């Protein structure tokens, strides 16, 4: 394991359900937000990108945990892609 910084995050919708309020967000192990909520009330095949990365929480220690958490979901079927860079 190594310490890293989150530099981008996007979700690709993979279901045909586009329910209002569905979303996911990146969080630390303690549940503190790294990104804004990525709203998944989009159609199948579309991509939504995080528009905010919190500078206070975007760095993850080498023994740390990065979580993708549903913020509300009827059907949050998506694939989440996270871009990182290694930090010292």
pLDDT in tens, 64-73: 999 999 887 6
Which pLDDT does position 1 carry in this prediction?
83
Give me the DSSP letters along 13-52: E-SS---TT-EEEEEETT--BSB--EE--S-TT-EEE-S-
Virtual CA dihedral for 3, 52, 66, 21, nearest 10 degrees?
Answer: -170
Task: Share the mean pLDDT of the chain.
Answer: 91
Would you tell me how many other CB atoms lie within 10 Å of the CB of residue 2?
11
Q: What is the mean pLDDT of residues 46-64?
A: 95
Which pLDDT does position 22 carry in this prediction?
85
**Can you read off the two tokens belonging to residue 6?**
């989150």
Report pLDDT digits (tens) over 12-22.
Answer: 998 877 667 78
């Amino acid at each position: 394991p190594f310490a890293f910084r989150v530099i981008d995050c996007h979700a690709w919708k993979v279901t045909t359900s586009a329910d209002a309020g569905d979303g996911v967000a990146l969080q630390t192990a303690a549940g503190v937000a790294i990104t804004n909520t990525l709203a998944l009330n989009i159609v199948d095949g579309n991509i939504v990108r995080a528009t905010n990365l919190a500078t206070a929480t975007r760095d993850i220690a080498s023994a740390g945990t990065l979580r993708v958490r549903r913020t509300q979901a009827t059907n949050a079927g998506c694939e989440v892609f996270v871009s990182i860079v290694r930090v010292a």
